[in-house]
A and B are shown apart, each in its own frame.
Chain A
Amino acid sequence: MVKNTFIFVLLVGFVFLFFNLFADFTGNTELNKLAGHYAESGHEEVGAANLVTAVVVTYRGLDTLGEVTILFLSAAIVSFLLKIETSSTDDRKLRTTSEILDTASKILVPVIFIFGIYVFINGHLTPGGGFQGGAIIASGLVLILLAKPLRQISQKLISIVESISGLSFVLLGVAGILFAAGFLDNKILSLGEFGTIFSAGLIPIIYIFVGLKVGAELSSIITNLQENQNEA
């Protein structure tokens, strides 16, 4: 009873807090100064048509590095926690998966992978980018595991892809210090013609590595939580 009262008081307190915070919020009619600067000079300074990509990769590139690191850390802890107890072999009978799903997954999985790669290569032009592309690649992996639940996904391959792309991401950032203005600056390569695929300097290359890294990390989480995987 005391606990319920406490929860009720806490919720009322939150309502009061948010009411005070947003009581006179009537919606924006113009951009603030920072966003105005990004909108006005983003295409000259960075050269990416998708301004969200410009903010994620260049203006706030260090934050992205930190967030990818957090994701790596959580994937590593998940695999550490689940590694010790997978020795019990499971004798439960599994039904064979249907032939239709098997055949369809053989057609669909390459298409899904190609779509994921398309999404992160075109991240500077259209909606999309490394994070979405990585999630799409991990969904393709889920389809493989649904069609063949006993299939072993090579943990070694996942960790190699993850390490190489993470290392390349940091090295490209350091190259920005050496050859351009600062960490993760994209002007190492020329900015190119605005709106074409070979533009925006280093952004497509960085986003390819971010996509591979995110895809590998999400795949590692999924294969660790999936039931019949043995650790290599």
Chain B
Amino acid sequence: MDSTIGIIGAILTLSGSIFIFLGALGLVRMPDLFNRIQAGTKASTLGTFLSLIGLLIITPQWWGKLILLMIFILITNPVSSHILARAAHFIGVPLADKTVTDKYKEEEKTFSIKDEIKNDTHD
């Protein structure tokens, strides 16, 4: 009984590390910066989640800290990659040749995203 739980946890942790490896492979293989950010973020978020769930199955007495870690990764990982991609778009990092559409640029044209100082000093 005990060993089965250990094996299930080990399989989950191993599959998590496989996803992280795929993310690292995507960083090398993808054509431009935005695709690389997507590959790195999505694969590594799923991989970290699977690893942490595997740890949760193996050692259930750590559940509090592990669930906090999962929530933290769930918030920080997508937000940071979103900020990186946004900054790269603003300083004009070129897209790959095969790119079909650039939604952000279209939206910037039609709605003219505000480019002025926001007065949010007191809130």
Residues of A within 8 A of B (CB): 93-96, 98, 100-101, 104, 107-108, 111, 148, 150-152
Within 8 A of A (CB), among B43-58: none
Interface SS of chain A: loop
A151-B120, A152-B121 provided; 4 other pairs, C-beta below 8 A?
A93-B116, A95-B90, A98-B82, A101-B83
Residues of B within 8 A of A (CB): 72, 75-76, 79, 82-83, 86, 90, 113-121
Chain B residues lying within 8 Å of A100, measured Cβ to Cβ, are 79, 82-83
Q: Who on chain B is nearest to A112 by CB? A: B72
Chain B residues lying within 8 Å of A111, measured Cβ to Cβ, are 72
Chain A residues lying within 8 Å of B90, measured Cβ to Cβ, are 95
Q: Bound complex: CA of A200 vs CA of B79, how far in Å?
A: 40
Query: What distance in Å separates the Cβ of B9 from its nearest Cβ neighbour in chain A?
Result: 24
Chain B residues lying within 8 Å of A93, measured Cβ to Cβ, are 115-117
Q: Who on chain A is nearest to B113 by CB? A: A96
Q: Bound complex: CA of A98 vs CA of B76, how far in Å?
A: 15
Q: Are A108 and B118 in contact, CB atoms less than 8 angstroms apart?
A: no
Q: Are A150 and B121 in contact, CB atoms less than 8 angstroms apart?
A: yes
Q: Bound complex: CA of A152 vs CA of B116, how far in Å?
A: 18
Chain B residues lying within 8 Å of A148, measured Cβ to Cβ, are 120
User: What are some 7 contacts across the A-B interface (CB < 8 A)?
Assistant: A100-B83, A101-B83, A104-B76, A104-B79, A108-B75, A148-B120, A150-B117
